[in-house]
Chains A and B, each alone.
Chain A
């Protein structure tokens, strides 16, 4: 009979300590309350001949004391939990991005190098991984108990989740948000491998083009390049070097061009208009599926370390850039 789930990420070990502290605090309060309750019930039962005179009349001192004590004790636990929570929301810069799309009833996973898998996630041990989650239909939730992390996959949004696996092995993966008939079967496993094994696994997959490369093709087929392309005459922002930079908006705000911004710019172009450009871009909502959106975002991301001038040198440069930004999944462009 299992008592604790496997502990397979750095965060999982921290969380178990927090759990121990929560249990310790509750055990203390529980013993106090139960001890007093049972003690009083026995000592002051009807008919027992104990002294009952001199009852406490004014209560406010006692009340204030235990109110303040409880509150301070609780605050300690709050800060501890909050600190870990901030941690699991701050992925390291070098984390590998893996895209996950939930769909009734499977998890579609795409590695940056273009390798795809369903309901199984392969990751290398000791390397931070950031999952970018979304859903194609209803809300799902990607949960890995052994890593003590989970995150809803909400249609229409990107949510991220990151972890660093610390132990090689196979761990369960669940959908935790009720999503219809086969909700209970929408799961699989996370396979944590030695980096060399992982590399071999990646190579053994037949990936086809990388996400960014596919995104580039889509960029042309959806007609994005008509305005944003280097040869375009339309006054539209160039996308090279955009990702991760602050973008000044027409209404005076400034936002960071992250996954969300790119996605929203494609689907809701009127919501955040970049300063200095006319709001002429049409919305692609309803025309581009989640899979394709991910690829487009991956492509635009791959342009991050390029400058607009640089891109004048032609498409092939763009492609090799795309390949190298995929990190460990680096392969020569075809």
Chain B
């Protein structure tokens, strides 16, 4: 399949010298002005990694502060820290992570296209991301923001003493980045599929990014308008959300969650996509119930728009609204459960190997199941009244977003690393990191369920002494977790220079992206591939490697 190759050392697979990393030149300028989706994906990966570490540093300080009941920092510093953590993690890591890095890199490869539909728009969206990121960092440097990532009014619009308008502007700008990426993916998926790549032959990864893009395009404008209204109220003192000026504080929450609940699916659906690629590959079996997995993504994307008020059960919505939104939240839990069952069933009668990506994927299934099940707890009206705004909710969404989504991100990173870089990483270290992350994660977040039920409220820099024991466990877990997250940084970095050559298809996987060389050439495929089979046609024993 690959052309223009030279040999590596005799025992190593051959590597393409003509690849996207070298073809357009290696100058900074050639990178900053690139229109190649793969290079833009690399730019995103670098910047998103940076923000992941910024958000992670804030998390470490938060856990450090909570080791003692009295707290270590002043309340204002603590409030700025969790706001920083939330804003960075939600908008600069979770939402863009998988779509903008792996989606950008893989969607064209997976559907047999040369690039995304709008390469320039793609580059623009990266610049928006970076610009917004620096704006947010600037707001933090000159003083910070203390509203929490949810910007609840009228606190944010009139009472906060932080740089709220700057932070709002940053989130506003990154919203445009999301919209542009979403549009690009939608058009690409519709228009650029290779001959024979019918909708039901699309890998689930493409489907889930497609569903995500639809949410991005439809929901993000609502967020943008909402944030703009907060800025208007703050700057001009026009009454929109503050009742003292004739506004309605709950209006903000309705608008905000109308975006932000679907947004939690923006965060998790691409993760579903990654897991649906990894599990069949390492179980050597077709994905169980492919169509059900696809349609459950679409269903989640749609119902995701109708459950926003489950964040407001104690905010003063009517009794009937509570009853309806709770029921809908239970409905949306069903398609999520379907996926878990399907991945598990895929293992049945497989030929399972436990390489690092698979360890991350199995970790994902376990943690997502716990996160999803506790979603049933918080979607339950009477139960939510007791635990909302406590650490129970914090644990719930961290199980989904950190245990689930970040595991999927790391799993995907390891799975496609050989494709992106042409190198393999040291497998042993990768497995150690996966296990550390799994144990560290549970030690960090499981105690928080208990803390929440006991009544420890979120966003407290200081708490009653009887909560201390569980907080110490949680902080201890966080340090294990931090080591787990830092490890890949080192061994992946090492592999860039010293890693073994990967060859085009080290996992003997079936997707189109594995049929071109690693790293792929700038135009992806020498000849546009023709697709004749559905995805995931794995056989029990790996096929001989395709070189």
Contact = CB atoms under 8 A, between A and B. Distances in A.
A201 interface: no
B159 A104 contact: yes
B159 to A, nearest CB: 5
Interface residues of A, number: 81
A46 interface: yes
B352 A29 contact: no
A52 B351 contact: yes
B486 interface: no
B352 A157 contact: no
Nearest to A159: B316
Interface string B341-370: 110110111111110000000100110011
A75 B331 CA distance: 9
A178 B459 contact: yes
Interface in A63-111: 63, 66-67, 70-71, 74-75, 77-78, 80-89, 104
B386 A15 contact: yes
Contact of A59 (B288, B327, B349, B464): B288
Contact of A44 (B315, B350, B362, B370): B350
B385 A185 contact: no
Given A22-B376, A77-B376, A286-B244, A178 B314 contact: no
B385 A18 contact: no
Interface in B261-299: 283, 285, 288-289, 292
A185 B462 contact: yes
Interface string B130-165: 000000000000000011100010110001110000
Interface in A256-307: 285-286
A231 interface: no
B547 to A, nearest CB: 22
B316 A89 contact: no
A103 B189 CA distance: 52
A151 to B, nearest CB: 5
B349 A52 contact: yes
B323 A178 contact: no
Interface string B374-405: 10110011111110111000000000000000
Nearest to A283: B246
A63 B340 CA distance: 12
Contacts of A81: 326, 380-384
B152 A139 contact: yes
B326 A152 contact: no
A68 to B, nearest CB: 9
Interface stretch (A35-43, A121-129, A238-246, A316-324): A35-43
A3 B384 CA distance: 18
Nearest to B323: A82
Contact of A139 (B155, B373, B390): B155
A88 B244 contact: no
Interface string A164-185: 0000000010111111111111
A186 to B, nearest CB: 10
Nearest to A65: B341
Contacts of A184: 71, 75, 457, 459-463
Given A26-B376, A139-B152, A150-B314, A40 B381 contact: no
B323 A26 contact: no
Nearest to A104: B159
A13 interface: no
Contact of A137 (B146, B148, B159, B459): B159
A151 B316 CA distance: 8
A2 B380 contact: no
B469 A1 contact: yes
Contacts of A148: 382, 385-386
Contacts of B129: none
Contact of B292 (A59, A86, A89, A176): A59
A216 interface: no
A4 B351 CA distance: 44
A181 B76 contact: yes
A324 B94 CA distance: 59
B483 interface: no
B242 interface: yes
Contacts of A25: 376
A195 interface: no
B244 A155 contact: yes
B351 A150 contact: no
A150 B388 contact: yes
A179 B319 CA distance: 25
B352 A45 contact: yes
B155 A179 contact: yes
27 contacts: A4-B454, A14-B382, A34-B369, A37-B362, A44-B283, A44-B348, A44-B349, A55-B285, A59-B292, A63-B338, A66-B337, A74-B330, A77-B376, A81-B326, A82-B327, A83-B382, A137-B159, A143-B389, A154-B316, A156-B249, A176-B390, A176-B457, A178-B459, A182-B75, A183-B75, A183-B460, A184-B463
Given A139-B155, A178-B458, 9 more contacts: A34-B369, A52-B351, A63-B342, A77-B330, A85-B385, A141-B389, A150-B385, A178-B148, A183-B79
